[in-house]
Amino acid sequence: MDSQEQDKAFFKAFGKVGAGLVALAVMCVTLAVIVNDKTEHKNHDNAEALALVAERLAPIGKVITDPSALAPVATATAADEKPAQSGDQVYNGLCAACHAAGVMNAPKTGDKDHWKKLLDEAGGVDGLTKIAISGKNAMPPRGGNAALSDAEIHAAVEHMLKASGL
Binding site for ligand HEC (CB under 6 A): 90, 94-95, 97-99, 103-107, 118, 122, 128, 131-132, 136-140, 143-144, 153, 156-157
Smaller CB separation from ligand HEC, 84 or 122: 122
Q: How far, in Å, CA of 36 to CA of 38, rounded?
A: 5
Smaller CB separation from ligand HEC, 84 or 106: 106
Smaller CB separation from ligand HEC, 99 or 163: 99
Q: How far is the CB of 76 from ligand HEC (least distance, A)?
A: 19
Question: DSSP class of residue 91?
Answer: I
CB burial readout 8-26, b (16+ within 10 A) else e: eeeeeeeeeeeeeeeeeee
Smaller CB separation from ligand HEC, 18 or 124: 124
Q: How far is the CB of 136 from ligand HEC (least distance, A)?
A: 5
Question: What is residue 139's three-state secondary structure?
Answer: strand
Q: How far is the CB of 36 from ligand HEC (least distance, A)?
A: 49
Query: What is the CB neighbour count within 10 angstroms for residue 157?
Result: 26
Q: How far is the CB of 152 from ligand HEC (least distance, A)?
A: 8
Cα four-point dihedral sign 41, 47, 52, 58: positive
Indicate left, alpha or beta for 4 from its phi (over 0: left) and psi (-120 to 50: alpha). alpha
